[in-house]
Amino acid sequence: LGDKKVTVVFVLGGPGSGKGTQCANIVEHFGFTHLSAGDLLRAEIKSGSENGTMIENMIKEGKIVPSEVTIKLLKQAMIKDENDRFLIDGFPRNEENRAAFELVTKISPAFVLFFNCSEEEMEKRLLGRNEGRVDDNIETIRKRFKVFVESSLPVIEYYRAKDKVKEIDAAKPIPEVFEDVKAIFAPYAK
Ligand code: UP5
Ligand code: MG
């Protein structure tokens, strides 16, 4: 990012584990900027970009969009924002995402916040969300779970081996999960 020095926290966890919900709380209490990779990709579809159709098809199938597309959006968002603390939500989702982000941005995360939740609970939440997301149907949800286990969990294991993972029991009610999140972010209080 040129001269800009930033603090980045990767917020990871399965589909429906509560990443977006808790990021909103962290923004409010700790002054981070929330960058949801999924939200950036959905905005890219809406903007009518040339990649829009490709991105939409991949999201419908629960597949991981090519790194260069996602990284470009994340990088642009970090450059544009005056803040120097970012929550990157839902990225990196596979080993290739992780390695490419590091190579392109030279950023390594301060830590990884991992929301651990059972598939049974996540499925219930996603089916109840009702925000009209094209991937919140049972067929796509099952594909998302499979991609999470096969491609995204290894990224969490990579950071765990580096002692960078802070794991949270995300099956609890929202306020209780946030109590645990707050304890982790205490050193970042402004
Ligand atoms: N809820 C939240 N917390 C709760 C709690 N503790 N108890 C009870 N209910 C709770 O929450 C989901 C729902 O559960 C909400 O209704 C909420 O009120 C409730 P939310 O906070 O939205 O969960 P979140 O983890 O953010 O779920 P999301 O569906 O956004 O996760 P995904 O990781 O599946 O979605 P994302 O938007 O990150 O990615 C979507 C797709 O984009 C991917 O499948 C992929 O195709 C593509 N993508 C890429 O290709 N590359 C990327 O880098 C990122 C995305
Ligand atoms: Mg989300």
Q: What is the pLDDT of residue 175?
A: 98
Atom of ligand 1 nearest to the CA of 117: 6
| Contact residues of ligand 1, CB 6 A cut-off | 13, 15-21, 36-38, 41, 58-59, 62-65, 70, 90-91, 93, 125-126, 129, 135, 144, 173-174, 177
Average model confidence (pLDDT) for the chain? 97
Q: What is the pLDDT of residue 112?
A: 99
**Which parts of the chain have pLDDT scores under 70?**
none
Q: What is the pLDDT of residue 2?
A: 82
Mutate-to-test residue for ligand 1 from 34, 120, 125, highest number of ligand atoms within 8 A of CB: 125
| Ordered domains of the chain (ranges, CATH) | 7-183 (3.40.50.300)
Q: What is the pLDDT of residue 92?
A: 99
Q: What is the pLDDT of residue 3?
A: 83
Q: What is the pLDDT of residue 14?
A: 98
Query: What was the ipTM of the complex prediction?
Result: 0.99
Contact 162, 111 (CB under 8 A): no
What is the DSSP code string of the chain?
-TT---EEEEEEESTTSSHHHHHHHHHHHH-PEEEEHHHHHHHHHHTT-TTHHHHHHHHHTTPPPPHHHHHHHHHHHHHH-S-SEEEEES---SHHHHHHHHHHH----SEEEEEE--HHHHHHHHHHH-S--TT-SHHHHHHHHHHIIIIIHHHHHHHHHTT-EEEEETTS-HHHHHHHHHHHHGGG--
